[in-house]
Copies of this chain bind each other. A is one copy, B any other.
Amino acid sequence: MMFSIGELSKIVGLKVPTIRYYEQMGLIDPPERSRGNQRRYSKAEVQRLSFVRHSRELGFALGEIRDLLRLSVHPNQPCCDAHVIAQRHLEATVAKIKKLQRLKKELERISKCDSNALSSCSVIETLADHQLCISDH
């Protein structure tokens, strides 16, 4: 049961060049090759890459994922490291959400006037208004 890189790509939902990139970055070991030098993957790589993809979707950086993978292989002591990584990430996420919600409000304000009315442009105006609020935010 060996997969070509294209098959693996479909299974795990990562593009082919991305998989090669992850190999290059040391997130997966270089796989076996066919006689013609093409990569051949087993189920282990499916698992590992799914882990990587899932972690990426959760917003972890490749370096953090590398750490997590290392931890998952030696799952004894330095588990708190994993918690630290996740906790730090949670805090950053909460901050991002807050910022985006403020952004959303502002964008709604900006783009709610109907653009068919050929009135003066609220987008430019709103952004221009903020030319004046130099010191805050």
Contact = CB atoms under 8 A, between A and B. Distances in A.
A25 interface: no
A80 B58 CA distance: 36
A105 to B, nearest CB: 10
Tell me the number of copies of this protein: 2
B89 A124 contact: no
Q: How large is the interface on A (under 10, 10 to 19, 20 to 34, 35 or more residues)?
A: 35 or more
A11 interface: yes
A55 B55 CA distance: 30
A52 to B, nearest CB: 10
A110 B100 CA distance: 23
Interface string A28-63: 000000000000000000110011001101110000
A80 to B, nearest CB: 4
A97 B101 contact: yes
Nearest to A91: B107
